[in-house]
Amino acid sequence: MTPAQAPLRIVIEGPNYVGKSSVVNQLHLLLPGATVIQLHDFCHQHIIRRSHPPMRLVSRDDYRAVQVDVVKESCDYLHSRTQQVLQMIDALTSDNIIIERLCVTECVYSTLLFGINGSEQLESTDAELAKRNGFLILLNADPRVLISRTMTCAPKTPGIQGYGIPYHLTDHEWIGEKCRLYNEAFRQMVMTPKVHIDTTHLSHEQVNVEIRHAIEKAMSRHERT
């Protein structure tokens, strides 16, 4: 990146086991010194902290049993966190920024877990990201591939307090629905420049090539602006 170029704000989105963390590591090599923001805990731990006694969210019925006020507070918390990240982008005026998960995941999980339509908030954040020179990279894959990875990769740990592995990480139906929702939300992002990379048949090296192409596209766009 030359001194004349605006810093990049790269948002990496996609379901679990699709390769986001590996891509973030690759991006950090391509953009040394970039600030990395990794957001996890979309609703799960927040609901556990707010429920008394703490809930074990390890089944569909567990999510359906969450109290309405806790659901609303959890979704408000997610949206507030997204807004805080946008403010951080504003503060780090000279930094390249890599963000793992943001508004697309917020929208997907609100819909997946609670049936809440987050399209309006997604549209608003789309406009805000575009104003901040955001660039979105969605990683996705065939749900059957992701299901296979859930059974062969190291399992997600339930955390030190042992409240159980979240249901949406293991249930095959929800994994498939999550993939669909990510694609749908990606299509709704019409203002932020974006790239969709399907990792179903790509090796690790091929994914890295696609990421380099995406960064070149983002840089080229900055040069034109």
Q: How far is CA 47 from each of CA 30, 38, 76, 109, rounded to the nearest angstrom? A: 37, 20, 12, 13
Is residue 4 one of the residues assigned to a domain? no
The answer to whether position 72 is within a domain reads: yes
What does the alpha-carbon distance between residue 136 and residue 223 come to, in Å, rounded to a whole number? 17
- 146: containing domain: 9-224
**3 within a domain of the structure (yes/no):** no
Percent above pLDDT 70 for the chain:
90
Query: What b/e string do you get for 175-204 counting C-beta neighbours within 10 Å, with b at 16 or more?
Result: bbbbbebbbebbeebeebbbbbbbbeebee
What residues contact 29, with CB distance under 8 A and at least 6 apart? none
Average pLDDT over the chain reads: 87
| Dihedral angle over CA of 59, 63, 66, 70, nearest 10 | 130
Q: Does 52 fall in a domain? A: yes
Q: Are 220 and 36 in contact (CB under 8 A)?
A: no
Kindly state whether residue 197 falls inside one of the protein's structural domains.
yes
CATH label of the domain that carries residue 21: 3.40.50.300
The CB density around residue 146, as the number of other CB atoms within 10 Å, is 23
| pLDDT above 60: residue 3 | no
d(CA 176, CA 15): 10
Least confident range of 35-49, 79-93, 209-223: 35-49
For 59-79, what is the mean pLDDT? 86
For the chain, the domain total comes to: 1
How far apart CA 135 and CA 195 sit, in angstroms, is 8
Tens of pLDDT, residue by residue over 94-112, are: 999 999 999 999 999 889 8
**138 strand-pairing partners:** 13, 196
Per the domain annotation, does 115 fall within a domain?
yes
* Per-residue confidence (pLDDT) for residue 157, from 0 to 100: 63
Q: Per the domain annotation, does 139 fall within a domain? A: yes
DSSP character at residue 135:
E
pLDDT of residue 12: 97
Would 173 be classed as within a structural domain?
yes
pLDDT tens string 122-174: 999 999 999 999 999 999 999 999 999 888 775 666 665 556 677 788 889 99
